Amino acid sequence: MSSTAYRGWRCDRHRSANTCRTNGLAPVSVAERSLAAGAWQWAGLATVALAAVLADQITKHVVTRTLGLDEAVHVAGPLSIHHVQNSGIAFGLFSSATGAVIVLTTFAVGWMLLFFARSGSRHPVLPVALGLVIGGSVSNLVDRVRLGHVTDFLDFRYWPAFNLADSFIVVGVGILLLALVAADRPARPRS
Range of the domain at 6: 1-31
Higher pLDDT, 187 or 136: 136
Higher pLDDT, 90 or 177: 177
Which residue type occupies 111?
W
Q: Mind listing the pLDDT tens digit for each residue in 20-78?
A: 555 556 555 555 667 888 889 899 999 999 999 999 999 999 999 999 999 999 999 99
How many domains would you assign to the chain? 2
- The catalytic position among 70, 152, 155, 184 is 152
* Structural domain contains residue 176: yes
* Structural domain contains residue 119: yes
- The catalytic position among 56, 143, 155, 166 is 166
Distance CA 7, CA 9 (A): 6
DSSP H helical ranges for the chain: 39-66, 98-119, 126-147, 164-184
Q: Name the strands in the sheet holding 2-6, side by side, starting at the edge strand that comes first in the sequence.
A: 2-6, 9-14, 17-22
Q: What is the pLDDT of residue 65?
A: 96
DSSP string, 152-180: EEEE-SSS--B-HHHHHHHHHHHHHHHHH
- Asked about 166 being catalytic, the answer comes back as yes
* Structural domain contains residue 101: yes
- Asked about 184 being catalytic, the answer comes back as no
Cβ neighbours, 10 Å, residue 158: 6
* Structural domain contains residue 99: yes
Distance CA 164, CA 58 (A): 10
Q: Mind listing the pLDDT tens digit for each residue in 80-103?
A: 999 999 887 776 666 677 788 899
